[in-house]
Amino acid sequence: MKLIWKFNLVLLGIFVLGFLTAGYVSYRALQDNAREEILQNARLMMEAALSTRNYTSTQVKPLLDTQMRYKFLPQTVPAYAATEQFTEMRKKHPDYTYKEATLNPTNLRDRATDWEADVINVFRGNAAMVEVVGERETPTGPALYLSRPIQIKSPACLECHSTADVAPKTMIDQYGSANGFGWRMDEIIGAQIVSVPMTVPIERASRTFKTFMTSLAAVFLAIFVLLNVMLYTMVIRRVTHLAGIADQVSLGNMDAGEFKSRSRDEIGVLTEAMGRMKASLVQAMKMLGA
Amino acid sequence: MDSRAAGLVTHVEPGVRLLRGVTLYKIAPGVALQDGDILTAPVKAQVQVELDKGTIANFAGPGALWLEAPTSGTATLTVPGGALKLVAKAPGVRVRTAAFDVGLTEAIVVLRVELAATEIFVETGSARLVNPTSPPRDAKRGEYVHKSLSTAFAARPLPPRTFVDALPRSFLDALPALAPGLKSKAVPVPDHDITYAEAQPWLALDRPTFERRFTARLRDPAFRKAAAAEIARYPAWDRLLHPEKYERKPAPK
């Protein structure tokens, strides 16, 4: 097997191994980064929801307390405020969702669906759990959900949700007395669930991966071609020329050519050594002939 | 507040007038009110009055608010028509309407008065509702009570939407005390003397009181002529306008 074939086989092996290793590592890193970015988005949205809840309960509700005696204003309910804020946001980002999924809600739009009820039951089954992250398929593609438990920690919550007879009459007037009662202190009654689409970040990561791998392949190809050109011009061609002359000399053709090289590299040194060896051989043959 | 003042006007909207004696005045925030003053307000115009001891009354037209604040005893607000939000503080205040009277000490109520009917919603505290034809009744926090001249008290646990929608939007919020923020006093500016047409509802409401009060207006020929046309309604004025009718006839010899 020719030297260039051996060289190329080894080089190709190294390139393929390097390409696959780099591909695997970069794919994992990009996918992990994309997922982390989605999770960060979800956490940011969750914090925004919590801020809205807090603002509503500490600043908005006290201002509307008097109006609540005449008419129930859902705008004073932290869960309603957070949900409405996200409803506004969804006008521009329809794939993002926020829900205060509740097993027994006052406002029926908050009633938990089957998969949301499963998440809530995870929290109910493990009170120490503070967050659940998962992925699910939606009609618009895969989505990551981040959920946190809604636990009754303030007796103020029970003013509206313990029994219908002690709840504000204006609230009963609006929502009726069938739902949203029987909550107990420290009970986990639902979960805040933020859902963030994964399609866009994952596609972005895939595009980045393809660009990276294409670039890597192009670099490998360029290196491969360059190394072959260098190998041919700097080694193969010179050694072939050297071998041809040496072959002729070995057959007694002393006129085959001169071992000459302008280069001072290893092949140059070898060429000069062979030139000296040929001169010595010619000298020895002359002495034998005399 | 002036020691003789019964209250202080702290908010006035255009069109509100003060009837003091027989003269209607234009007013501004800072005007001190006296016993017997009457505030009239056109449709949707509001005026806020703050009485001594922290009682606040915000009145919205169309209608009028008659303030009686004797030097001793509780103040009385008479409302022939209009909407009134009242934050009552001890020693309390009494509200008179055609359908029933309301006694309050520490309470916040909203009233809506039409000529023959009164609605009341108690935001906080309780109110005693008194009517000569019915036994007194206490309205509790969150309760809505309605009564007309021809019907009995009817209570509901929530105010009906028609009542809430008819109120000025600001009545659904807490009434702020504006008196501490008033930097200067204001003086009422005379507008015109009361006409017979303007006086008529008051004469119908409390004839003896307003006959006495408006007697001075009989010097005005136009007022006098209009009153004379209906003199049968006003015996006190009949005596003044036609004293000859009431002179003692000499006993027959």
Residue among B158, B172, B173 minimizing CB distance to A173: B158
Report the C-alpha gap between A204 and A146 in whole angstroms: 21
Helices A78-90, A3-55: inter-axial angle, 10-degree rounding: 130
Domain boundary among the residues B155, B181, B207 is at: B181
Using a CB–CB cutoff of 8 Å, tell me whether A258 touches chain B.
no
Find all residues with CB under 8 Å of A158, minimum gap 6, and list them: A152, A183, A184, A185
Residue of A nearest to B175 (CA): A66
Distance CA B9, CA B30 (A): 6
- Is B190 inside any structural domain? no
pLDDT tens readout for residues A216-274: 999 999 999 999 999 999 999 999 999 999 999 888 888 888 888 888 899 999 999 99
Does B172 lie in the same domain as B98? yes
Of B142, B164, B172, the CB nearest to A169: B142
Q: Are residues B82 and B38 in the same domain?
A: yes
Q: Is residue B252 part of a domain?
A: no
Residue B242 confidence (pLDDT)? 83
C-alpha distances out from residue B193 to A135, B22, B62, B67, B229, Å: 80, 6, 20, 19, 20
pLDDT at B253 (0 to 100): 61
**Domain match, B167 and B231 both:** no
Q: What is the mean pLDDT of residues A9-23?
A: 94
Residues B67 and B176 grouped into a single domain: yes
Per-residue pLDDT tens over the stretch A124-141: 999 899 999 999 998 888
Note whether residue B2 is domain-resident. no
In a domain? residue B141: yes
B53 shares its domain with B13: yes
Options 3.40.50, 3.30.450, 3.90.320, 2.20.25; which CATH number does A39-198 get? Answer: 3.30.450
B186 in any annotated domain: no
- CA distances for A247 relative to A243, A250, A252, A278, angstroms: 6, 5, 9, 12
Residue A173 has pLDDT above 60, yes or no: yes
Contact B123 A69 (CB under 8 A): yes
In the block, which residue shows the tokens 């939000």? Answer: B85
- Is the same domain home to B127 and B57? yes
If one counts the domains in chain B, the total is 2
Query: Closest Cα of chain A to B124: distance in Å?
Result: 9
Is the confidence metric ipTM above 0.85 for this complex?
no
Given this model, what pLDDT does residue B2 score?
53
Report the residue from A66, A169, A173 with minimal CB separation from B172: A66
Q: Do B123 and A169 touch (CB under 8 A)?
A: no
CA distances, B225 to each of A76, A268, B216 (Å) = 60, 141, 14
Query: Which pLDDT does position A133 carry in this prediction?
Result: 95
Residues B53 and B101 in one domain: yes
Pick from A161, A153, A203: which is nearest to A34 by CA?
A203
- Domain membership of residue B26 as a residue range: 7-181
B108 shares its domain with B203 = no
Are residues B16 and B116 both part of a single domain? yes
Nearest C-alpha in B relative to A168? B142
Regarding whether B133 and B60 lie in a shared domain, the answer is yes
The answer on B241 and B138 residing in a single domain is no
Whether residue A67 lies within 8 A of chain B, CB to CB, comes out as yes
Residue among B120, B123, B144, B158 with most chain A CBs within 10 A, to mutate? B158
Residue B34 lies in a domain: yes
Residues of chain A positioned with their CB less than 8 A from the CB of B123? 66, 69
B8: phi then psi, degrees, rounded to nearest 5 = -130, 130
Instruction: State yes or no: pLDDT of A25 exceeds 90.
Output: yes
Q: Could you give the C-alpha distances from B89 to B52, B94, B200, B223, B253, in angstroms and in order? A: 9, 11, 33, 41, 66
pLDDT at A229: 95
Element containing residue A126 per DSSP (H, E): none
User: Which residues of chain B, if any, have pLDDT below 50?
Assistant: 3
Residues of B in contact with A177 (CB under 8 A): none
Structure tokens at A86: 């996200």
Residues B158, B200, single domain; the answer is: no
* Domain ranges within chain A, ordered by starting residue: 3-11+207-289, 39-198
**Order of all β-strands in the sheet with A132-138:** A97-102, A188-197, A141-151, A132-138
User: What is the pLDDT at residue B207?
Assistant: 92
The answer on pLDDT for A49 being more than 70 is yes
- Average pLDDT (A86-105) is 93
Nearest-by-CA chain A residue for B170: A67
